[in-house]
Amino acid sequence: MRHRRITDVMTREVVRTTGDTPFKTVARLLADHRISGLPVVDDEERVLGVISETDLLQHQAGQDEERRGRRFHLPPLTRSARAAAVKARARTAEDLMTRPAVTASPGQTVREAAHTMQWHGVERLPVVDEQDRLVGIVTRGDLLRVFLRPDEELRRDVRGQVAGALSRPPATVEVGVRGGVVTLTGQLERRSDAALAVRVAGGVDGVVAVVDGLAYSLDDTQPLPTGFSPGHM
């Protein structure tokens, strides 16, 4: 099944910074470019980490916690507390960033990128080449753009992919799309073909739901009666 790749939706002109960039400069970059995060790279454009608005907020919150901790002599003991303390004292991007960065490759699918974001709880993925050099960035908003595909574009895509999966002429299954909802109608030989058509249609990027209006002549998903074979039909 053909899915859109990260290279189709990623931003190629990436706002990035280096590890020695001062804290206030990082904040200014985010504000000036109206972005919520950016990657930190080394001199060879390899991604070292990612800074988000959350990291900046943790810096502010961490400073408050440190002040309370010094007052009551409560040193940070846990790993997360130590990390928060580093961010609270951060003066440069290197101390502020979250590392290691969760990245993606240009050839990964949009669905794979969405799964990675959900699994790691991140909102953006720096896109790197085979040498781990930055070539783009993809955000949740970029991935959601697949649901803005025009209905006619979706119809053509679904029609072609269903026909290819069934090895049938495209006219065998009628495809209608409204608001991203796909309706399949037509007559197929086997119930398994109808199920395959629905599954393929539902896997097309941008499809919201599939309405199954397909008919079939043979239910090949059920065991045949004793002594009966397909040759008797």
Domain boundary among the residues 115, 146, 177 is at 146
Taking the C-alpha atoms of residue 66 and residue 70, their distance in angstroms, rounded to an integer, is 6
Same domain, 212 and 122: no
30: nearest Cα among 16, 19, 41: 16
Domain boundary among the residues 96, 113, 146 is at 146
- What is the extent of the structural domain holding 206? 149-218
Is 90 within 8 Å of 16 (Cβ atoms)?
A: no
Q: Is 34 left (phi over 0), alpha (psi -120 to 50) or beta?
A: left
pLDDT for res 182: 97
Same domain, 142 and 177: no
E strands along the chain, which residues?
17-18, 37-41, 47-52, 124-128, 134-139, 174-178, 181-190, 209-218
Domain boundary among the residues 146, 163, 182 is at 146
pTM, whole model, 2 decimals? 0.72
Residue 104 DSSP SS3: strand
* Amino acid at site 114: A
| CATH code of the domain containing 138 | 3.10.580.10
Domain assignment present for residue 137? The answer is: yes
pLDDT for res 228: 55
Domain assignment present for residue 119? The answer is: yes
Cα-based torsion angle of the residue sequence 145, 150, 152, 154 in order, rounded to the nearest 10 degrees = 20
Largest separation between any pair of C-alpha atoms in the chain: 88
Same domain, 85 and 178: no
| CATH code of the domain containing 200 | 3.30.1340
Same domain, 125 and 114: yes
Same domain, 133 and 41: yes
Domain assignment present for residue 96? The answer is: yes
Q: What is the mean pLDDT of each run of 10 residues along the chain (233 residues)?
A: 85 96 93 95 96 81 54 51 61 90 94 92 95 95 90 95 90 94 96 96 93 94 64 50
Same domain, 69 and 130: yes
pLDDT for res 74: 46
Domain assignment present for residue 1? The answer is: no
